Amino acid sequence: MNLVEIQTIHKSIWQPDHEQIRHWVDAALDGFNQDTEIVVRIVDEQESAELNEKYRHKQGPTNILSFPVEVPDGIELNLLGDLVVCAPVLEREALEQYKALSDHWAHIIVHGVLHLVGYDHINDDEAELMESQEIIILNKLSIKNPYLQDNEE
């Protein structure tokens, strides 16, 4: 069973409800053989920018930040980590990329969860593996490949 705590610091009319976010987290964790806990925090651009600067040393807000928990040996803890989603950035990206907002939310949540379980995209091989996993999960959610341009379909 996956426990998802959702903290809504920033609220807009275009945000998915908590049940939908939990559904996307569950889809990303399907096949993950342990009970987990994840915190999803929905924030504004100011908080996202502050966290991005503090932890990634990058300027400005970003769509999602993933903070995996590093559990010391011998400690049993089901907490995978925290996801910090910047709703205004995510909404703007969906408009700019001509993507359905709910599909982009799903993609970003899945992307963040995959980071929490160890996926990354630092080099090309890792990026390809992570993207392929995202595509598989999103396909199960009836969401088209987010990496294809409209003219490639």
Q: What is the pLDDT of residue 153?
A: 45
Which domain, by its residues, includes 69? 2-152
Q: How confident is the prediction along the chain (153 residues), in pLDDT tens digits per residue?
A: 789 999 999 998 889 999 999 999 999 999 887 789 999 999 999 999 999 999 999 999 999 999 999 888 888 888 899 999 999 999 999 999 999 999 999 999 999 999 999 998 888 888 899 999 999 999 999 999 999 865 444
Q: What is the CATH number of the domain that holds 132?
A: 3.40.390.30
What is the number of structural domains in the chain?
1
Token reading at 116 = 């929490």
